């Protein structure tokens, strides 16, 4: 998609999960910024996996 559309971005999550939303606060912030004010992440952005707190 990013190669086809000039305004598209691929946000890669470097972890083991179906989605990054509950695994990475960084990914959550980037996605929220994009949805709220249209700010796109830098090309080739990779969000790292974060440990889930015990008891969650």
The secondary structure of the chain, three-state, reads CCCCCCCCCCCEEECCCCCCCCCCHHHHHHHHHHHHHCCCCCCCCEEECCCCCCCC
pLDDT in tens, 14-26: 877 777 777 888 8
Please choose, from the candidates 4, 9, 17, the residue with its C-alpha nearest in 3D space to the C-alpha of residue 44.
Answer: 9
pTM over 0.75: no
How much is the mean pLDDT over the chain?
Answer: 81
Does the pLDDT at position 40 exceed 80? yes
Q: What is the DSSP letter of 31?
A: H
């Amino acid at each position: 998609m990013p190669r086809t559309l000039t305004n598209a971005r691929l946000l890669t999550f470097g972890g083991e999960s179906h989605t990054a939303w509950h695994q990475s606060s960084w990914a959550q912030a980037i996605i929220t910024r994009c949805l709220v004010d249209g700010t796109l992440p830098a090309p080739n952005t990779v969000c790292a996996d974060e440990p889930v707190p015990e008891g969650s």
